[in-house]
Amino acid sequence: MGGLKVYIQHVFKVLDMKMYAISFFGLGRVGLTMAACFASRDFRVIGFDVNEEKVKIINRGKAPFFEPELDVLVKDSVEKGLLRATTNPSEAILNADLTFITVGTPSAPDGSIDLRYVKSALALIGESLRHKENWHLVVLKSTVVPTTTERVVKPIIEEVSSKRCGYSFGLCVNPEFLREGSAVRDVFKPDRIIIGEFDKRSGDTLEDFYGKFYGEETPPTIRTTPVNAELIKYASNAFLAMKVSFINMIANLCQKLPGADVNVVAEAIGLDKRIGSLFLKAGAGGGGPCFGKDLAALKKFAESLGASTSLIDATIQVNEQQPLNLIKLAEKHLGNLKGKRIAILGLSFKPNTDDITDAPSIKLVRGLLDEGAEITVYDPKTMENFRGLFGNSIKYAFDATSCIKGADCAIIVTEWKEFKNIPPEIFLELMRTPLLIEGRRIYPPKEYSKHLKFEAIGYSP
């Protein structure tokens, strides 16, 4: 009898488990990763993108860019019929209960946010909602400066759809905190979920969806106003960037202090729980599609309100300068760099991604070219992207050892795992002048400096 009761309760629970159909507008790194993760837990997902080629690749079960673990998730979900990409926007609205907007928000030339992709996604969504009878939830994941959802997103959807927010459709701001290189893991195990809701039904629905997706592992969820949600995203990225610039400032001080090592300082201060150990890795500086863009947008936005931007300014300034410190270290040993052969190991803005957006390697190579150096580069994943930027002005090696062969100086710019295994003897044997400059602190300085001329960010022997 007890067993029957448990079974009946189970049947009721299953019947109650409304499985949401989800759609995404924008199948970039954030949109596709989330789409594939949701589909992998049996949600039906349709992704809209304007790029036909990208849509074809995804429908063939492939990811159009490199992100660890993503290819398998896309392949499985497409094969099971749970994930599909389309260039037809109304298909992605009419067949879904919930739509995430995940288009890019690049910088305008003056650093302010460029909303053109958000606006065109909104127009398409509004147009399709006009023909939809059921209530629909629109969730903005793209990073937008505070007040954008209230002042831009809501009015566009309302005007184009002729429907009212809070009645015929719902609206939430739900920022993402995915890191490239570990985006899949970050979707499955986020530290928190932020829901900026326009009305209770919208917030309840999104929280219910995440409850079904994460089950017992649902992370702490903060429900708040849209403007807070928008600001939380910028404040998070600005704080992380500030931590990186802070430790790079200390690293630059260490270099002037014989006996100092920033890694030891970072480890020790990180043990203070109020400071925390993450994002205290000194090096060639931070890059990527978010840090620079978000800092610039926050600065412009704060300035427009007459608010102080002093910490943002200092963070940007330290970060801009940081890759150029590697050039100073090369000059310390080689003097004038004109005609000197420099090998650059690592081009992506961090390991496990093929993304070179705003990468320190770009600033470094430009600086070295200005000095007249001859440059050879190597990266395990992103050679073609770099070639697109620098063409024939530099040389491209097919592996790390051919990159350093005959070089006067090798500079580590990205901490790819395969570089960690290069012993000092290889540099010694292959280079013309064995000078190794460490921009990511992957080698033990004492051991390597026994064999080579060795310099590292934040290290002073």
The upper half-sphere exposure of residue 395, i.e. CA atoms within 13 Å in the direction of its Cβ, equals 17
To the nearest whole angstrom, how small is the minimum distance from the Cβ of residue 284 to ligand UGA? Answer: 7
Binding span for ligand UGA by CB under 6 A among 52-60, 170-178, 255-263, 444-452: 170-178
Q: Which of 31, 287, 424, 445 binds ligand UGA (CB under 6 A)?
A: 287
Phi, psi of 318 (to 5 degrees): -60, -40
- Which helix (H) or strand (E) covers residue 224, if one does? strand 221-224
184 binds ligand UGA (CB under 6 A): no
283 binds ligand UGA (CB under 6 A): yes
Q: Are 101 and 122 in contact (CB under 8 A)?
A: yes
8-state DSSP, 152:
I
Q: CB nearer to ligand UGA: give 54 or 440.
A: 440
**Exposure class string for 242-263: b at 16+ Cβ within 10 A, else e:** bbbbbbbbbbbebbeeeebbbb
Residues in contact with ligand UGA, counted by CB under 6 A, come to a total of 20
180 binds ligand UGA (CB under 6 A): yes
Q: Are 430 and 401 in contact (CB under 8 A)?
A: yes
Spell out where 401-447 has E strands: 409-412, 435-438
Q: Are 105 and 118 in contact (CB under 8 A)?
A: yes
Binding span for ligand UGA by CB under 6 A among 72-80, 254-262, 283-291, 420-428: 283-291
The upper half-sphere exposure of residue 134, i.e. CA atoms within 13 Å in the direction of its Cβ, equals 9
Q: Which of 64, 288, 434, 445 binds ligand UGA (CB under 6 A)?
A: 288
Q: CB nearer to ligand UGA: give 123 or 324.
A: 324
To the nearest whole angstrom, how small is the minimum distance from the Cβ of residue 201 to ligand UGA? Answer: 27
To the nearest whole angstrom, how small is the minimum distance from the Cβ of residue 341 to ligand UGA? Answer: 26
Site residues (CB under 6 A) for ligand UGA, limited to 332-351: 349-350
Q: CB nearer to ligand UGA: give 280 or 410.
A: 280
For residue 425, how many other CB atoms are within 10 A of its CB? 11
Which residue stretches of 278-309 are H helix? 291-304
178 binds ligand UGA (CB under 6 A): yes
Q: Which of 39, 187, 240, 249 binds ligand UGA (CB under 6 A)?
A: 240
Q: CB nearer to ligand UGA: give 18 or 417.
A: 417
Q: Phi/psi zone of residue 108: left (φ > 0), alpha (ψ -120 to 50 degrees), beta?
A: beta
Q: Which of 84, 281, 300, 381 binds ligand UGA (CB under 6 A)?
A: 281
Site string for ligand UGA, 374-413 (x = CB under 6 A): ----------------------------------------
Residue 221 to residue 207: CA distance in whole angstroms: 8
To the nearest whole angstrom, how small is the minimum distance from the Cβ of residue 355 to ligand UGA? Answer: 8
Q: How far apart are the first and last CA of the chain?
A: 76
Instruction: List beta partners, residue 341.
Output: 374
279 binds ligand UGA (CB under 6 A): yes
290 catalytic residue (yes or no): yes
Q: Are 370 and 438 in contact (CB under 8 A)?
A: no
Cα 106-414-433 angle, rounded to 5 deg:
135
Catalytic residue among 37, 290, 403, 409: 290
Binding span for ligand UGA by CB under 6 A among 42-50, 208-216, 236-244, 396-404: 236-244
Q: Which of 98, 153, 280, 362 binds ligand UGA (CB under 6 A)?
A: 280
Return the closest-CA partner of residue 293 out of 102, 144, 116, 100.
Answer: 144
Residues forming the active site = 290
Chain contacts with ligand UGA (rule: CB under 6 A) = 143, 176-180, 237, 240, 244, 279-281, 283, 286-288, 290-291, 349-350
